[in-house]
A and B are shown apart, each in its own frame.
Chain A
Amino acid sequence: MTAAVAIEGLEVVFDRFRALKGVSLEVREGESYGLVGESGSGKSTLLRAITGLAPVASGTIIVNGKTLGKTRDKAFYRDVQMVFQDPYGSLHPRQTVDRLLQEPLAIHGIADGEKRIERALDEVGLGKGFRFRYAHQLSGGQRQRVAIARALILEPSILLLDEPTSALDASVQAEVLNLLEEVRRRHKLTFLMVSHDLAIITHMCERLMVMQNGEAVETLTASQLIGHRVSEDYTRNLLRASEGFVRTA
């Protein structure tokens, strides 16, 4: 079985700041893989490096068997798509949902636009009524659904998810997580999902990597984490913190 994403010794340097210090990971085809860690640990940077938005200093990234160079060609973006954290920032403020969804189709010269847009909207549970709305006419959860629809419309095989629910209310988060699981099952997608919340990662992913300060702390399976079979103190602290406040005295 080939790896959907294989990263080896990835270094990302902004000016002189090393945001990623030689990270390696392998995501199998069809797998859902999680990245957890505190803010600033380099989770988003890793996803951006894959998409070509962050300056890679060294290391290799292989996606679906192809080693990526400095630039990404159009075909890459039909394989890999991304959903951003902030639903209020990821939709163009002057474009309707229709226009947002049309854009990727226009860029890739895909003909059956009408059908695809309707199908994509149905799939994320929005329906036709939302097609001609602007972003400000949508709630946070609805915006995130539109963002997911936009990511799916090119029928990618890999979806990068950067804290897709951290800006949403718990109840809306549950709906979006359910939706993500559903589209993953239906399209046999590979997920690489970032979150600072261990509970979400164990819910969504089979394997995960704990990150701190641009480095991998450890790699675990979800069941290891559930069984508290972790070897690093840092991970143990995260686990304890995710159980809520405990009064000592």
Chain B
Amino acid sequence: MNGDTLLEVDDLRVTFPTRTGIVQAVRGVSFSLGRERLGIVGESGSGKSQTGRAIMGLTPPQAEVSAKKLAFNGIDLLSISPRQRRSLRGNRIAMILQDPKYSLDPVMTIGRQIVETLRTHEKVSRAEARERALAMLQAVQIRDPARVFDLYPHEVSGGMGQRAMIAMMLITGPELMIADEPTSALDVTVQLDVLKILDKLVAERGMGLIFISHDLRLVSSFCDRVVVMYAGKVVEQIKASELRDAQHPYTRGLLNCMPRIGFERHPLPVLDRKPEWAA
């Protein structure tokens, strides 16, 4: 790992009490993160989002979070007050969700949302906030920032909305960004544009990035390191460049079962799930 450790997660557990008993969404996840791009992959329901949310402090109230260690820059996230947690959340840790529609306020213009976000975290004048918001929109490669500034979320396309969302999250200059399937709802070409923006910002600002996705191939082409999750557990941690030598049959299965252009396999290999993977 290059440089200092930004985030340390040791034995993270998230449990939900439900009508039919206790659901263990995350069962002892451990990893650490420097100023790098870390991918978390796994099938739906494997606990990726709940892991990200637990780090953010956005776990639903009925759920219980425990960990031997959950530290951001040496700050123990589980022992600080909710207020400190909140201020950390806006300022130094940010999260992008899959669908910008649900995270942008539909009755406020995009520009105003970015400005408000900035002003709740920093004492800046309106004029300066506007300047910086426009610069941020430019940084996420929105061609006509002044126009988009005054649009409402429903007036922009999915890709544009996701860029606006990224701009809003980055305006406070966070050190850690958690992106939960940020591009899964976008077209492939738009997806790559958004990834390019994220990639550039991470490189320029020296952020740590946790990139959550179900698409192992995409993650491996984008991230430095990959954490593979299955049924709430980490089954393998591997450098993206060494993914071809993955040991765990689940990782290999995930990699193999996708059709690839120019590699005809009929039928496609399927995953043969073993009960011991979840044990």
Binding site for B on A (CB under 8 A): 38-39, 140, 169-175, 177-178, 181-182, 196-200, 202-204, 225-226, 237-239, 241-247
Contact = CB atoms under 8 A, between A and B. Distances in A.
The secondary structure that dominates the A interface is helix
Contacts of A237: 189
B151 interface: no
Nearest to A246: B221
Nearest to A202: B261
Interface residues of B, number: 35
B153 to A, nearest CB: 18
B259 A177 contact: yes
24 contacts: A140-B44, A169-B43, A169-B44, A170-B214, A170-B215, A170-B216, A171-B271, A173-B257, A174-B267, A174-B270, A177-B268, A181-B266, A181-B267, A197-B188, A199-B258, A200-B259, A226-B262, A238-B189, A242-B188, A242-B261, A244-B221, A245-B221, A245-B222, A247-B199
Interface of B: 43-44, 158, 187-192, 195-196, 199, 214-218, 220-222, 253-254, 257-262, 264, 266-271
A129 to B, nearest CB: 18
Contacts of A239: 261
Given A181-B267, A244-B221, 15 more contacts: A140-B44, A171-B270, A174-B268, A177-B267, A177-B268, A178-B267, A182-B267, A199-B258, A202-B259, A203-B259, A203-B264, A204-B259, A239-B261, A241-B192, A245-B222
B43 A171 contact: yes
B188 to A, nearest CB: 4
Contact of B261 (A140, A225, A245): A225
A202 B266 CA distance: 12
B10 to A, nearest CB: 28
A204 B188 CA distance: 19
A85 to B, nearest CB: 13
B267 A245 contact: no
A38 B270 contact: no
Given A171-B270, A177-B259, A245 B187 contact: no
